[in-house]
Amino acid sequence: MMRNTNTKPVLRFPEFKEDWKPVQLKEILKEHKSRNTKNQVEEVFSVAKEKGVINQIEHLGRSYASEDISNYKVIYPNDVVYTKSPTAGFPFGIIKQNKLDRTGVVSVLYAVFKPKNVELGLLLDIYFSSWVNTYNYLVPLVHKGAKNTMNIGNEDFLNGAKIYLPTQKDEQKKITDFLIQIDNRIAQLTEKKENLELYKKGITQKIFSQKLRFKDENGKGFPEWKKHSIKKVLDRYSKPVDVNPSQLYTQIGIRSHGKGIFHKEAVSGKSLGNKRVFWIEEDKLILNIVFAWERAITKTTSSEKGMVASHRFPMYQPKQGLLNLDYILLFFLTPRGKTYLELASPGGAGRNKTLGQSEFEKLKIYLPSIEEQEKIVSFLNEISKQIELVNEQLEETRTFKRALLSKLFC
């Protein structure tokens, strides 16, 4: 059953009173089968869930098109394309309008349609941006193929259930103009966030390769960096748990790629068995010896205090006056730091690359003075705060858009 069966949406521009009408896609879309027979079009498009119709190389980093694209389908500006390829959250494909101001080509597996007008094409793009709407519309149309493939014919696509849309051109335009402004805001914030992340990545590489140095409060340079073994600047911290079978313990896990700690469900002392488990204290460097080579390393916080971790999650604390804990964590999250963790993780591929703790402690790294470490941490944390602020604005705008659409297509 389709979601929007209301002739009057909850949210509406007050000057419009006419009921929305139920329409089939065949009433507002017409399939065109233009092919690139003379290779007059050179740009190949992909269709992405978030970015819509986009240059394939820009989206995927390279072209996956055949050398001969003469059989590819031509997609003009404002055309609506149905991909039919499953993607995360959209098992039967996605439906997007070409919002680019140029013509390209897409795979022959896609269905391309010309909308009755630009605004209706955009309204369909907006409507089908919801996985619920897309799923509800497409699932009744699916034909199961001989090899369990999911097929939806182009005619079937056009003859699906009716959806309610505004019939007045002025209302269509006012809605789409307003939503375009929101999408532009989302695009601006997304670009700003990506640029800040690229800046942070570049500046971090310069800092840890010593191409960028800081100065003290008097404008003087800090001392040269010195080589230290991990064992010299980090002390192993362990406080074994005397397991009580009647007590519940909350264990932790560590995600790869520096994504932090997650809390597992509470378990009883009995279920811990003979495992070696240790109390977690805040402000400790902690890592997963199985996935350390994938940067499964982070810092404990107050929210983990009183939880437990197995011996596979060794903890370290910095030696005062030699090491800033945030600094060493920032280092290990860089490509250079990842290489160090890999060096201390001998063995085979994947899960067999267990970190050797003694090898880890023997690693030698160059460290600036504690004062310069603190400057570095403060500088990079400030960029991270800017990224987080932009990300919050981005999520707020996306939430506003979702709430808006839920009241528009209710």
For position 36, which CATH number holds? Answer: 3.90.220.20
Whether residue 252 contacts residue 305, with contact meaning beta carbons closer than 8 Å, is answered with no
Predicted confidence band of residue 410 (pLDDT cuts 50, 70, 90): low
Mean pLDDT check: name the lowest of 14-18, 150-154, 225-229, 325-329.
150-154
The pair of three-digit structure tokens given for residue 330, joined into one six-digit string: 């920032």
Q: Quick one: what percent of the chain has pLDDT higher than 90?
A: 67
Comparison of pLDDT for 349 and 119, the residue scoring more: 119
Do residues 178 and 287 both lie within one domain? no
Do residues 52 and 71 both lie within one domain? yes
Predicted confidence band of residue 348 (pLDDT cuts 50, 70, 90): very low
Would residue 9 count as lying in a domain?
no
Would residue 221 count as lying in a domain?
no
Q: What average pLDDT does the segment 322-335 reach?
A: 94
Comparison of pLDDT for 53 and 61, the residue scoring more: 53
Residue-range definition of the domain harbouring residue 107: 21-165
Do residues 28 and 159 both lie within one domain? yes
Do residues 323 and 354 both lie within one domain? yes
pLDDT of 352 reads: 59
Do residues 65 and 87 both lie within one domain? yes
pLDDT of 144 reads: 61
Mean pLDDT of the chain: 90
pLDDT surpassing 90 at residue 59: no
pLDDT of 160 reads: 94
Q: Quick one: what percent of the chain has pLDDT higher than 70?
A: 95
Q: How many CB atoms lie within 10 A of CB 366?
A: 13
pLDDT surpassing 90 at residue 65: no
Do residues 363 and 376 both lie within one domain? no
Would residue 8 count as lying in a domain?
no
pLDDT surpassing 70 at residue 364: yes
Do residues 234 and 176 both lie within one domain? no
Please write the tens of the pLDDT for every residue from 244-295. Answer: 888 999 999 999 998 999 999 899 988 887 778 999 999 999 999 989 999 9
Q: What average pLDDT does the segment 23-30 reach?
A: 96
pLDDT of 145 reads: 58
Would residue 293 count as lying in a domain?
yes
Would residue 122 count as lying in a domain?
yes
Do residues 26 and 135 both lie within one domain? yes
Would residue 6 count as lying in a domain?
no
Would residue 12 count as lying in a domain?
no
Do residues 324 and 271 both lie within one domain? yes
Do residues 300 and 230 both lie within one domain? yes
Do residues 352 and 399 both lie within one domain? no
pLDDT surpassing 50 at residue 3: no
Produce one character per residue of 176-200: b if its CB has 16 or more CB atoms within 10 Å, e if not.
Answer: beebeeebebbeebbebbeebeeeb
How many H helices and E strands in the chain? 11, 22
pLDDT of 60 reads: 81
The pair of three-digit structure tokens given for residue 214, joined into one six-digit string: 């800081």
pLDDT surpassing 60 at residue 327: yes
pLDDT surpassing 70 at residue 208: yes
Do residues 87 and 199 both lie within one domain? no
Would residue 16 count as lying in a domain?
no
For position 391, which CATH number holds? Answer: 1.10.287
Domain count, the chain: 3
Mean pLDDT check: name the lowest of 94-103, 242-251, 326-335.
242-251
94: nearest Cα among 156, 148, 138, 29: 138
95: nearest Cα among 122, 57, 63: 122
Q: Give dist(CA 130, CA 25) in Å, integer.
A: 17
